Amino acid sequence: MKPAELISGAESVIEAIGFWPSFHDAEVISFSVSRALPGVDSVTVAKLCVHYREHEAVGVGTADLEYVCQKSLLVELILSDIHDLALTEFNQQNVLESIDLKRSEDLSILVDIVSIWGVGGTIRCNHVAVGAVTNLLS
């Protein structure tokens, strides 16, 4: 199963980028977790905000070579009904290798946040959805 098939609303990211990204070299901007209030019938929810960018080389083969930002998006992932959560090393940059998703044997979703620098970890939850997708270049 492809990661995008596990995520409600993945089509909004695919529409903005053209495909479901691995989030390589993207940066985690924020991560928040909220638990259910006592006596309230709700679940634990985490929100992960990732800054995704694409650059294009302009002037290749000339002295005017530069990399121009073509896409700059904030992508919010909402992880709900969390069973397990382990994060390490959240800092001032938080560059990602990837965000990998797979279905576990118990049908929960395992979200693996693979770090290049900064935050990394794993989250096991029942639902993953795309929240806001904000274009920073428009």
Lowest-confidence region among 3-12, 20-29, 55-64, 110-119? 55-64
Q: What pTM, to 2 d.p., does this model score?
A: 0.92
Structural domain count, the chain? 1
Q: What's the per-residue H, E or C state across the chain? A: CCHHHHEECHHHHHHHHCCCCCCCCCEEEEEEEECCCCCCCCCCEEEEEEEEEEEEEECCCCCCCEEEEEEEEEEEEEEEEEEEEEEECCCCCCEEEEEEEEECCCCCEEEEEEEEECCEEEEEEEEEEEEEEEECCC
In terms of residue numbers, what domain contains 48?
Answer: 3-135
Question: What is the model's pLDDT at position 138?
Answer: 76
